[in-house]
Chain A
Amino acid sequence: MNNNKFVGKVGVGEILTYVVLILVLVFTVMPLLFMVTAAFMDAKQIMAMPYSWIPSKEYFTTESRTFFTNFQKAIVGNHNDHIFFRNLWNSLIVAFTCALTTVLLASLCGYGLAKFNFKGKTVVFMAIMSTMMIPFEAIMIPLYLVASKLKIINTIPGLIIPFLVSAFGVFQMRQYLITFPSEYLDAARVDGLTEFGIYARIVLPNSTPVIATLGILSFRNQWDNLLWPLLCSQAEKMKTIPLYISKFAEEKQTDEGALMACALLASIPMFILFFSLSKYFLGGAAVYESRKG
């Protein structure tokens, strides 16, 4: 905005800094607060001008029970088939499995690339890195054809398999393990550990920070994935939460309260994860940055 932030007297500069930061804070938090409050209102109050921020008391009385009906509608779904929790479960399973396999496969591959000198290592590394340039959006249709050949359309494995591991994960693990002291590995070899034993007992336990950030990143990506489930899960039962919300939003366009209740419910698992592991969420950037070193 202007130079004062940096040159002005400490007092003025500091106040200005806070003013700017708080304005942005209002911008980022306002829609979240809106979601939480609107989840307890009916459409009429949500669309009233000006927006009231506090759900009116009558919604909490036993007669109207708007706060309850919103969430009830969100769970019951479009076709009264109560698939919300089933879809939530699908999302959790898919995201969790992908996080787990990404961590395992990426660390295994990253370890192989970081600490062994085999023929064609550079070629292997470059080949894996080059897949980072292939956007998923460009290969979704061939992938769909592969998946239908493997008969995994409309199944949980079908949602998981294309995301078992990511090139970015391999890259991160390799960068991290390159700086891992080789002396430890040698000492373990002298002590008679097998190569796989070294990976499982020395390398894995010593990479917890990068594993945590990588796992969280992968979990979040799958939790957020809309495009692949859109192709892969046609059966209602097999849908994931983003798809559920998308269909729900299509049908309940004018029922904003129920829509926000649905959005809120669907965000709760991620909020719990975020606020309990915020260190790793915010540290994700740190690991990402370390690639430079």
Chain B
Amino acid sequence: MKKKLTPYSIEKKQVRWGFLFTVPCLVFFAVFSFYPIISAFLTSLTNRDAIRRTYDFIGFQNYTYLFTQSNGGFSLLNSLKATAIFTVGTFVPMVVVSLILAVLIMQLRKPGHSKMFELAYYTPAVLSSVVAATIWMILFQPTGLFNQISNFVMHTSGKDYQWLTNNSMLRASTIIVYFWKYIGYFTILFITGLASIPPTIYEAAIVDGSSRWHTFWKITLPLLKPTVVLVSIMAMLQCLKTFSTQYMFVQGGTAREPIDVITMNIYYTGVVNRRLGRSSAMSIILFLIMLCFTYLQFSTQKGGDDVEY
């Protein structure tokens, strides 16, 4: 990747310019990324709250507290569970379905049709999450449209599926909202990946008498593997950080406990209940989780570079 620059007599001057160009960003990230995360870590070792001016160093007590106590009914363990359910429940179907949709769209012979599907699938992604959650809150009402559709699809009549009142259904509801909003986005990512596979490979496969089904499993999927891995991890990281949907649901009056994802617990503990130390400890835990997955992303990406067309 790295290109060697040809040496110049004025090289030194240029080098200074190159460094100067990066300085604004470096300063920015130092103040708005590195300082806050270090500060969050230091705060997580104290019993600081937003009201008292003084606070003491208490070591890792916040962490032990979080893993053993209930934190006012909304424990970290519950949050980890809620986040895990949401993340797995969202990103697995999302990656699978968007991959299928991308393959199907690529099969269409009329470019106008593919464009139309791409546009229609992508449109929910331009709405803000708040708007998406607001629309779906109404659709999920007992007499709302989604119950009517569910009744139609499941051949039941007048059944209330309790989208917002039953705990597991509530979890499913947040997953549906997220799935709806981002399915088009991930479909487009896969379409781009598919488009980068040279058509000559497919032509060769057809000449060799490979069926389309066979071609998909033996050619498309292996060549697409780096994209699949990349998109999966990206989707996973995004799901881990989900906040707006759950926040809107809780503001709208649903139960908090089943969808109390970790970001929401940070928000409530730190901002609403003003326990800065404890919420910082949760922040650090979230950071560590993200760190693991990002490491995974980079390590798989290295392997992914082996694929050559």
With A105-B28, A282-B188, A289-B196 as known contacts, state yes or no: A263 contacts B135, CB within 8 Å. Answer: yes
Closest to B137 in A: A249
Asked if A138 and B121 make an inter-chain contact with CB atoms under 8 angstroms apart, the answer reads no
Give chain A nearest CB distance to B104 CB in angstroms: 5
Asked if A143 and B29 make an inter-chain contact with CB atoms under 8 angstroms apart, the answer reads no
Q: CB-CB < 8 A to B263: which residues of A?
A: 135, 137, 227
With A224-B128, A249-B251 as known contacts, state yes or no: A182 contacts B29, CB within 8 Å. Answer: no
A1-43 contacts to B (CB < 8 Å): 3, 5-7, 13-14, 17, 20-21, 24-25, 27-32, 34-35, 38
| In the complex, per-residue mask of A104-118: 1 if CB is within 8 Å of any chain B CB, else 0 | 011011011101111
Q: CB-CB < 8 A to A271: which residues of B?
A: 126
Q: CB-CB < 8 A to A127: which residues of B?
A: 26, 29, 34
In this complex, the member of B17, B33, B291 whose beta carbon has the largest number of chain A beta carbons within 10 angstroms is B33
Closest to A128 in B: B29
Q: How far is the CA of A196 from the CA of B19 in the complex (A)?
A: 12
Give chain A nearest CB distance to B214 CB in angstroms: 8
Which residue in B139, B301, B305 is a CB contact (below 8 Å) of A31? Answer: B139
Give chain B nearest CB distance to A26 CB in angstroms: 10
Tell me whether A278 is interfacial, beta carbon within 8 Å: yes
How big is chain B's contact interface, by range?
35 or more
Q: CB-CB < 8 A to B129: which residues of A?
A: 224, 226, 242
With A28-B184, A178-B3, A289-B227 as known contacts, state yes or no: A142 contacts B39, CB within 8 Å. Answer: yes
With A242-B130, A285-B191 as known contacts, state yes or no: A231 contacts B271, CB within 8 Å. Answer: yes
Which residue in B6, B216, B283, B301 is a CB contact (below 8 Å) of A139? Answer: B283
Which residue in A51, A112, A231 is a CB contact (below 8 Å) of B19? Answer: A112
Give chain A nearest CB distance to B288 CB in angstroms: 9
| In the complex, per-residue mask of A226-268: 1 if CB is within 8 Å of any chain B CB, else 0 | 1100110000000001100110011001001001100100110
With A47-B144, A146-B35, A274-B123 as known contacts, state yes or no: A134 contacts B247, CB within 8 Å. Answer: no
Tell me whether A54 is interfacial, beta carbon within 8 Å: no
How many chain A residues touch the partner (CB < 8 A)? 103
Which residue in B121, B130, B215, B291 is a CB contact (below 8 Å) of A25? Answer: B121
Closest 5 CB pairs of A and B: A116-B18, A112-B21, A139-B36, A142-B36, A138-B283
> What is the interface of chain B, defined by CB distance below 8 A to chain A?
1, 3-6, 8, 14-22, 24-26, 28-29, 31-37, 39-40, 43, 97, 100-101, 104-105, 107-109, 117-124, 126-132, 134-139, 141, 143-145, 148, 180, 183-185, 188-189, 191-193, 196, 211-213, 215-216, 226-227, 230, 240-241, 243-244, 247-248, 251-253, 262-263, 266-267, 270-271, 276, 279-280, 283-284, 286-287, 290-291, 294, 301, 304-305
Report 13 cross-chain contacts, Cβ distance below 8 Å, ordered by A residue: A13-B212, A28-B120, A31-B124, A106-B25, A127-B26, A131-B33, A135-B286, A138-B286, A182-B5, A245-B134, A249-B130, A278-B122, A292-B226
